[in-house]
């Protein structure tokens, strides 16, 4: 039998990358952590760490077991919560991460209904890019993370994390009021190759979706400004300082601009929620259900842009 206490030690070494860091977080001495790792290797019958003169790292088996350790500890936590609270979904805490444009409509719509039904749940919200907040989800500091995946920049969730996708959101061309592109039924990016562009910094790589899409159409965009805040992007477009690609969630209710549909089938992003399937938080399942309902309502409102 593998000791849950020693699995927790291994998991903390995996998270912190060192015995000293694990010892600090677990309030143990470094020698005690080393001893527990050695005992766990005896129990597992396989080497879990590679020790160097000045370093330590997990073996492939050690990394796999660390990921499984999180699942085991989640199950133990679930059992403890069952005994203490009968897994009530109307009390406790729910920690939610989300990206900025999801905070314009999607999150408020889902949470207003969720909070009305579960007023005893304490909500803890964190705003940031999905790739920035994913480590918080992995180590249990977040219960759920609202994410996106661009068709032109696909990614895979880390081991131990699952993503439930809700709807596809189109990217739209945003131009100043009165711009000639606003007279066309559909616009190609290449038609605006000579325009100055406002774009983002990219996600896990420095290359933005605009630059990826432009490369497919054979041009390099003239980038005047980069910003991950769509209020800034829309303000610069409104002032006539450039044109931009903005996802549908980011342009809702905006004035003083024109929104154009694009002739580019891969310019969309998939919106979903990432979670650890072994997370025992009883409030998680109801929240995901409200996210599905809110997503269906928003998807319906986006339908004119999808036709």
pTM of the predicted structure, to 2 decimals: 0.69
Do 16 and 62 lie in a common domain? yes
| Residue 303 predicted with pLDDT over 50 | no
| Residue 92 predicted with pLDDT over 90 | no
Domain harbouring 136, CATH code:
3.40.190.10
CB 154 within 8 A of CB 126: no
For residue 133, give its domain range: 92-167+269-306
Q: Provide the number of structural domains found in the chain.
A: 3
Do 154 and 223 lie in a common domain? no
Do 192 and 256 lie in a common domain? yes
Structure confidence by residue, pLDDT tens digits, 212-258: 999 999 999 999 999 988 999 999 999 999 999 999 998 877 889 99
Domain harbouring 40, CATH code:
1.10.10.10
Do 184 and 226 lie in a common domain? yes
Do 132 and 185 lie in a common domain? no
Mean pLDDT of 142-171: 94
Question: Which of 41, 58, 85 lies at the terminal end of a domain, its last residue?
Answer: 85
Q: What is the pLDDT of residue 85?
A: 53
Do 14 and 61 lie in a common domain? yes
Structure confidence by residue, pLDDT tens digits, 164-218: 999 999 999 999 999 999 888 889 999 999 999 999 987 767 789 999 999 999 9
Q: What is the pLDDT of residue 57?
A: 82
Structure confidence by residue, pLDDT tens digits, 21-36: 888 998 999 899 889 9
Do 59 and 139 lie in a common domain? no
Q: Which two tokens stand for residue 99?
A: 């990206």
Q: What is the pLDDT of residue 306?
A: 40
Q: Which two tokens stand for residue 201?
A: 């910094």
Q: Find all residues with CB under 8 Å of 220, minimum gap 6, and list them.
A: 211, 214
| Residue 84 predicted with pLDDT over 70 | no
Q: What is the CA radius of gyration of the chain?
A: 24
Considering 44-53, 88-97, 189-198, 298-307, the range whose residues carry the highest mean pLDDT is 189-198
Question: Which of 43, 65, 85 lies at the terminal end of a domain, its last residue?
Answer: 85
How far apart are the C-alpha atoms of 296 and 271, rounded to whole Å?
11
Q: What is the pLDDT of residue 89?
A: 58
Do 121 and 248 lie in a common domain? no
Do 79 and 145 lie in a common domain? no
Tell me the pLDDT of the chain averaged across its residues.
89
Q: Which two tokens stand for residue 175?
A: 């131009």
Do 134 and 222 lie in a common domain? no
Do 200 and 185 lie in a common domain? yes
Question: Which of 39, 64, 85 lies at the terminal end of a domain, its last residue?
Answer: 85
Q: What is the pLDDT of residue 237?
A: 96
Do 69 and 15 lie in a common domain? yes
């Amino acid at each position: 039998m593998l000791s849950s206490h020693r699995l927790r030690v291994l998991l903390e070494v995996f998270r912190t990358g060192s015995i000293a860091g694990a010892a600090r977080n677990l309030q143990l001495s470094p020698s005690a952590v080393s001893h527990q790792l050695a005992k766990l290797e005896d129990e597992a019958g396989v080497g879990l760490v590679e020790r160097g003169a000045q370093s330590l790292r997990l073996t492939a088996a050690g990394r796999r077991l660390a990921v499984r350790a999180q699942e085991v500890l989640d199950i133990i936590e679930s059992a403890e919560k069952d005994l203490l609270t009968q897994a009530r979904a109307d009390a406790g805490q729910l920690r939610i991460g989300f990206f900025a444009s999801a905070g314009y409509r999607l999150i408020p719509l889902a949470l207003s209904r969720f909070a009305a039904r579960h007023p005893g749940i304490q909500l803890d919200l964190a705003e940031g890019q999905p790739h920035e907040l994913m480590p918080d989800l992995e180590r249990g500091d977040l219960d759920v993370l609202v994410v996106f995946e661009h068709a032109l920049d696909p990614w895979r969730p880390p081991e131990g994390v699952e993503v439930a996708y809700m709807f596809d959101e189109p990217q739209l061309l945003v131009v100043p009021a009165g711009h000639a592109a606003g007279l066309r039924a559909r616009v190609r990016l290449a038609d605006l190759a000579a325009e100055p562009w406002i774009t983002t910094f990219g996600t896990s790589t420095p290359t933005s979706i605009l630059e990826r899409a432009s490369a497919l159409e054979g041009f390099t965009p003239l980038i005047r400004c980069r910003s991950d805040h769509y209020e800034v992007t829309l303000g610069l477009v409104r002032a006539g300082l450039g044109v931009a690609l903005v996802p549908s969630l980011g342009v809702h209710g905006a004035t003083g601009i024109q929104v154009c549909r694009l002739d580019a089938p891969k310019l969309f992003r998939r919106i979903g929620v990432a979670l650890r399937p072994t997370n025992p938080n009883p409030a998680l399942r109801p929240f995901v259900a409200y996210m599905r309902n809110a997503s269906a309502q928003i998807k319906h409102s986006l339908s004119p842009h999808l036709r």
